[in-house]
Amino acid sequence: MMLEIFNQADSNKWDEIVNGSVNGTLYHSWNWLKLIEKHSGTKLYALVFFDDKDVTPFGAIPLFHMQKFGLKMVFSPPPRSAVTLGPVLLNKGYSQRKFELSHLAFQGSIDSFIKNLGTNYTSIITSPGLLDIRPFSWADYNVKPLYTYMVDLNQGEKEIWKNMSKSLKLEIKQAEGQGVRIIENPSDNNIDCVL
C-alpha cells in the first residue's frame, strides 16, 4: 500500500473517495473534518491508501492528532465531537481473500503512521457501515463492538414513529425543543441536520 496525506487542494478527491465507499458518512466529508479539526484543537491527517498496482484508492481514514499533558494522542474522531469516523473502504471487486489481505495491509499502514507520530494513545470509533473490524483485533487494538439500529426510512414517518421506544421519542422531542431540526434535502435526498 502507498500512503498519501491529503490537504485542502485534495478536498474534492477526498469527498469522491468517501462518497464511493461502503461506509462513508456525512461526517467523513472534507468540510466536516475541517470543522471538527477547528473546534477540537487537533491536527487533521487525512490519509489515503492506494494499492501498489494501480492509482485507485483502497481506503482512507481521518486521524486527529493532539498533544496534551505530555501525551501524544490520535483519535478518529476526537473526544466530544459526537460523530463516528474511522476508516472508509472502497469496494474494488476484490475476492474475499484479496480484500482481507488489502484490509490488513491498510491497517498496518495506519499503525505505522500512528507509530511514527510517537503516539501514546489511540482511539478509533468506526462508522456503522464498517462491518469487519478484525484487522483492528489482529493489530492488538482493544476492540469493543457497539451496536446501533438501522431503520428503513421507506416505511414512512408514522410507522417509524409508532415503532420507536418512548425514551427515544422523548429524546427527539427534547432535541426539537432545543432547536434541532432534521429536514430532507430535495436536491439530492441527503438528510441534513439543521441547528
pLDDT of residue 22: 84
Strand-pair category, 121-124 with 71-76: parallel
Query: Which residues lie closer than 8 Å to 7 by C-beta, 6 or more apart?
Result: 46
Q: What does pTM read for this prediction?
A: 0.75
Q: How many residues does the chain have?
A: 195
CA distances for 122 relative to 81, 108, 140, angstroms: 16, 14, 12
pLDDT of residue 185: 62
Mean pLDDT of the chain: 86
User: Which phi and psi angles does 171 have, rounded to 5°?
Assistant: -65, -40
Q: How far apart are the first and last CA of the chain?
A: 40
User: Sorting pLDDT into bands at 50, 70 and 90, what band is 81?
Assistant: confident
